[in-house]
Amino acid sequence: MEGEEDTPPPNPPASFSMSQSGLSDAEEDVLRAKLAQLVQEHRDMDSAISAMGEQGVNDQLQLTRLKKRKLQLKDQIARIEDALLPDIIA
């Protein structure tokens, strides 16, 4: 359009900083909180699976569901850890 100049995007506010992972501090804090929650849930799931085995519970469907959920949690934990810890080329 006539009369408009290409202007660069505004600089981020002074309080805005990026960590080595390329995430803002706020984003990193959110991911770390989510990671802590998922790790705790993974531990709880592990305890529940162990308790079922110790009590001799033979509900294979429930056991399979718990193990599947535990694997899903492990995958989510790995994705968040990858986002927080960038690959370092040695």
pTM: 0.70
pLDDT tens by residue, 37-86: 999 999 999 999 999 988 888 889 999 999 999 999 999 999 999 998 87
Q: How far, CA to CA in Å, does 87 sit from each of 45, 51, 76, 83?
A: 29, 37, 17, 9
18/27 Cα distance (integer angstroms)? 9
For residue 18, the SS3 value is strand
Q: What is the pLDDT of residue 89?
A: 66
pLDDT tens by residue, 3-34: 445 544 444 444 444 555 677 889 999 999 99
Q: What is the pLDDT of residue 16?
A: 42
